[in-house]
Every structure is written in structure tokens, then in C-alpha cells.
Amino acid sequence: MAQLQTKTWVNRYPDVFRTVQLFQAQYSSTACPRILSFGCSSGEELQSIRNYFPTAAIFGCDVNRAALAEAAKVDGCTVFLSTPEAIKAFAPFDVIFAMSVLCRFSLSQTAKSLKSIFSFYEFEDHLGALNDALSDDGLLCIQNANYLFSQSSLYPSYAPVRCPLIGTNGFVDKWTADDIRISSIRKFDHGREHKIEFQPDFLTDDDFRDVVFRKNITAVTELSEPPAPLGGKVISTTGKGADLSVAAAERRIAHRHTSELLQDDTGSMWIGSTVSKTTLSGEIVSLPTWWTHIHPEPAGQLTPAQEQWVVKPTTGSNYWAKRLLPRWRL
């Protein structure tokens, strides 16, 4: 495993989890999918997966034995030391999450060369082991990788799964297979953005967006949009992310996520998610609004009347977050 840091938190990738959840509902007949968290750290991702996929058989692996000892405390999951042999023994998997593990961040931020830190050969080696463990028509999810999956020798055997919930594949700086830096990461109050340092001919906007890839499929899978609310009143609107006009002018790849909390005419609650992003050509593109019929609190959406009573954590510990985890069954 490339990434050595184990810092993570509960529900870190909600838009990716929701996308896979929608794919399973629309394209999969497997009632009990086998899901691997590759680089499960101390178990927060396993807890999140359990809440999105309550009927799944969930597995986690990592190279950090101390983190695995914590992950093993998560109920209903099988945890093991990450080796090619162990992954093969538990395979096949229907979904593999490789989230913030196929990188060496933050060393890659200041490196002049990535070859001696985490080479493209190592990246491909990890991908090969995951590909061998993935079932036909399975999903490989890659977030925050230093290299582009589109440059991998495996990429022709995969096609992206897309929905407007996902506008970015992370904040980790990108490199070419031959060790040339594509982007540098700049940190702002609202997050991180890619500043393009080198734009090879093969680079596309999708290299900064695609996360979910479907094995042995040649065409892009566009998920069907769920139904939208009919009428109603917007209770609150929140936005996080970049100032896109500035990012586009300064040739940065950035995105902004806007959420609307709406109560329809029957009293039911909905969340509308809209992702906007900049492109390599300096344009600003908004993806279609995606509506989810949901109890809003587990997704972090509160009314102003609720917000005033919420107790915020005073330390960086996620002890109580791990024990008071709400159910994200969308």
C-alpha cells in the first residue's frame, strides 16, 4: 500500500458511496455484494460502508497493524493484513474502494520526482492485484491517486460510472507515468485546488473527475436520475468549495458543491446537490441538480432552528463520531 498516513473520518466520501449505492440499485442483482475497503485504516470507512450497504459482506485490509487492531472492532466486518496473497484468498469482490491510498500525500506536494517515493510501476502493481480480485462487471473506486487511471494498462478494460453527485476525484497532486508533475495543490480556506503545471495531450477534464470504474465494460455508464420533488419550499442553501470565477481565470481545477434542503408539499424532506467545476479550457460547468429523498440530518443538513442547538466537537478526536454514527440508508 502506498499511502502511509492513516488519518481518516466517518462518511468521508458520501458522494462516492451514494453513487455506488445507486449503481447497485440500478444495475446489480446481487443482494449481498462483497465489498473491500483497500486501506481501511482504523475502520471509519468500514462503518460508513456498512451504513450505505447494510446487506453487504464487508472486508477491510491495511498494512498498518495498529490501525487494523482498531478496525477489527467494527461489527460485522472481516479485517486482514493487506498482502496480495490475502486479498486473493478473500476474492472476488463486487466493489473495491481504494480511497486516498494510491498516493504518497503529502510528500508528493513538494517532490521534484515521484519515482523514488511512489513510482508508476508501484501504482500499476497495486492496480493489478485489485483487478485480479475484482469480479467481472465489478466496480473499482479510486479517489485521491497521484497517477491517472487513464494511463494505466488496465484502463482499456474499464469504463467510468458517472452521475452528477461526483465532480472531483480528489485533491492529491497528479503526475504522468513518466514522472512529470501535472498539477500542484494549492490550499485555501475552502479546500484544495489543482494548479496545472503541465498539460500533456492526453489529459482530459475527466482525469480530474472520474472515480468509479466498471470492469469489462467499454461504454460509460450514466446512472438514471432519481425522481425530483414536486413543489415545496427551500428551507436552507449551503455551498462549499472554490470561487470558480477566480479559479478558472488562474487556470486551476476546482469545484463547488451547493446543497438545498427542501420540504415538499407533503412534508417530506429532500436534498438537492449541485456540483459546479472548472475545466482545463477555463470554463465553468454546472452538473445537473441531483435530488435525494432523505432524512436530512445524517447528511449534515440542518435547519437554522436545529443548528443553534448543535454541540460542536472541541477536539480532533472522532471517538464519539464513531459511536454515534447515524444510518445513511438513502
Q: Please state the φ and ψ torsions of residue 8, each to the nearest 5 degrees.
A: -160, -175
Kindly state the DSSP code that residue 177 receives in the 8-state scheme. Answer: T
Q: State residue 103's pLDDT score.
A: 95
pLDDT in tens, 302-322: 667 777 787 765 544 444 344
Confidence (pLDDT) at 329: 41
Q: What letter does residue 181 receive in the DSSP assignment?
A: B
pLDDT at 1: 55
For residues 298 and 64, the model is more confident at 64
Contact in structure between 236 and 303 (CB atoms under 8 Å) = yes
pLDDT in tens, 183-230: 999 877 667 899 999 999 999 999 999 999 999 999 999 999 888 898
Whole-model pTM over 0.85: yes
Q: What is the pLDDT of residue 45?
A: 94
Q: Is the pLDDT of residue 298 over 70?
A: no
Residue 6 pLDDT grade (very low, low, confident, very high; cuts 50, 70, 90): low
pLDDT for the residue 312: 67
For 233-307, CATH gives 3.10.450
**Average pLDDT, whole number, for the chain?**
88
**Count of residues for the chain?**
330
Residue position matching grid coordinates 517515493: 117
pLDDT exceeds 80 at position 264: yes
71 neighbors 41 (Cβ within 8 angstroms): yes
Q: Is the pLDDT of residue 28 over 60?
A: yes
pLDDT in tens, 50-84: 999 999 999 999 999 999 999 999 999 999 999 99
Q: What is the pLDDT of residues 153-176, one digit of tens each?
A: 999 999 999 999 999 999 999 999
Distance CA 19, CA 223 (A): 8
pLDDT score of 11: 85
3-state secondary structure 274-285: EEEEECCCCCEE
- pLDDT of amino acid 317: 43
Among residues 6, 89, 53, which one has the least CA distance to residue 318? 6
Is the per-residue pLDDT at 251 higher than 80? Answer: yes
Count of beta carbons in the 10 Å neighbourhood of residue 186: 17
pLDDT at 106: 84
Write the pLDDT tens digit of every residue in 30-41. 889 999 999 999
Residue intervals of the chain classified under CATH 3.40.50.150 are 14-222
Please, which residues bridge with residue 213 across strands? 140, 160
Predicted pLDDT of residue 300: 58
Task: From residue 183, give the alpha-carbon distance in Å to each of 147, 156, 274, 279.
Answer: 11, 24, 25, 13
**Which of the four pLDDT bands, split at 50, 70 and 90, describes residue 295?**
low
Identify whether the C-beta of residue 276 lies closer than 8 Å to the C-beta of residue 167. yes
Residues 183/189/190/195 CA torsion (nearest 10 deg): -10
- Residue 262 sits at the vertex; the CA angle it makes with 260 and 264, to the nearest 5 degrees, is 155
Residues forming CATH 3.10.450 domain(s) in the chain: 233-307
| Confidence bin at 5 (pLDDT 50/70/90) | low
Q: Are strands 284-286 and 290-293 parallel, antiparallel or unpaired?
A: unpaired
Class of domain 14-222: alpha beta
Q: What are phi and psi of 213, to 5 degrees?
A: -125, 135
Rounded to whole angstroms, the Cα distance separating 248 from 42 reads: 37
Instruction: Give the integer Cα–Cα distance in Å for 286 and 123.
Output: 32
Helical segments of 53-199, H only: 65-71, 84-90, 107-110, 120-133
Q: Give the Å distances, CA to CA, from 55 to 33, 324, 327, 329.
A: 8, 20, 13, 11
Q: What is the mean pLDDT of residues 279-286?
A: 96
Q: Residue 328: what pLDDT?
A: 44
Helices (H), the chain: 14-27, 44-52, 65-71, 84-90, 107-110, 120-133, 244-249, 304-307, 319-323
pLDDT, residue 267, reads: 84
- pLDDT of res. 322: 44
